[in-house]
Amino acid sequence: MKWQVKYALENLNKDVVGRCTAECVQNDVIKIVIKEQPDVLAAISDAYTISKEIANQYVQENPNIDFLCGYRKECVWDGEAISYLQKNNIGWGNFGTLHSAALNGNANVAEQKIFAFANRLIRQYGIVDKVDREFDRVFQVTLKNRHTIRIGLIPDYEPTSDNVRSLWKTFGPVHIAWNINPSGNPCATALEAGEDLGCKVLKTEGMKSYLQTL
């Protein structure tokens, strides 16, 4: 049994109220049984990056799965993989997303919890015409005035210069580094890093108003 499957089973079977149980059914696929909710078949991946090719391989080998889980904390999802899974009615995200989705009975439509609110919000702005998701945390946004910008999401509580520079280094230049954590604020060093790189570091509260100036 692979390490990520082992840990996923251990964590699911820790449910102290006895509402959730899980077992391995084959290879990387586990079955989650929740009282009063549909059973969930989930593939547990140890990949650092989940591309469309990897997602397709899991689906081809396990056509009945409800959810594809990227177990590593640092796992990154390619936008084409996300689109492919959604078109096939398969949820995607980290272990926390899988657990919540199984409990809520919506595993087939669930998406990575960390970025879900920002993904919905940016599409609801009246000034936004189109959103192309390049990665789980990077969007190319076309405004109704035809201005196109690239936005990267930073979920950290209080982003530092390292967070901003790491986003830029890993995913390429962005116009906006969006701190999506509602509780904290970017450190002064994060704002300075943004200025050095030529991007804005913004909280959610300032996003819409800034886009309206473009």
pLDDT at 184: 86
Write down which residue in 111, 132, 151 finishes a domain: 111
User: Residue 71: which CATH number?
Assistant: 3.40.1350
Would you tell me the crossing angle of helices 113-124 and 204-211 to the nearest 10 degrees? 30
Task: Please give the pLDDT value at position 18.
Answer: 67
Please report the pLDDT score of residue 16 as a whole number: 54
Indicate if 50 and 95 belong to the same structural domain: yes
Specify the residue for token string 């509602």.
182
Q: Both 79 and 165 in a single domain?
A: no
Same-domain pairing of 51 and 135: no
187 and 137 together in one domain: yes
How many domains does the chain contain in total?
2
Instruction: Verify that 41 and 53 share a domain, yes or no.
Output: yes
Task: Classify residue 10 as left (phi > 0), alpha (psi -120 to 50) or beta.
Answer: alpha
SS3 148: strand
Q: Are 193 and 165 in contact (CB under 8 A)?
A: yes
pLDDT for 17: 59
Q: CA-CA distance, 60 to 49, in Å (whole number)?
A: 18
- Mode of pairing for the β-strands spanning 148-154 and 128-135: unpaired
Which parts of the chain sit beneath pLDDT 70?
Answer: 15-18
Q: Which domain holds residue 100?
A: 3-111
Look at residues 62, 81, 111 and tell me which one is the last residue of a structural domain.
111
Tell whether 131 and 189 lie within a shared domain: yes
Residues 62 and 28 in one domain: yes
Are residues 140 and 53 located together in one domain of the fold?
Answer: no
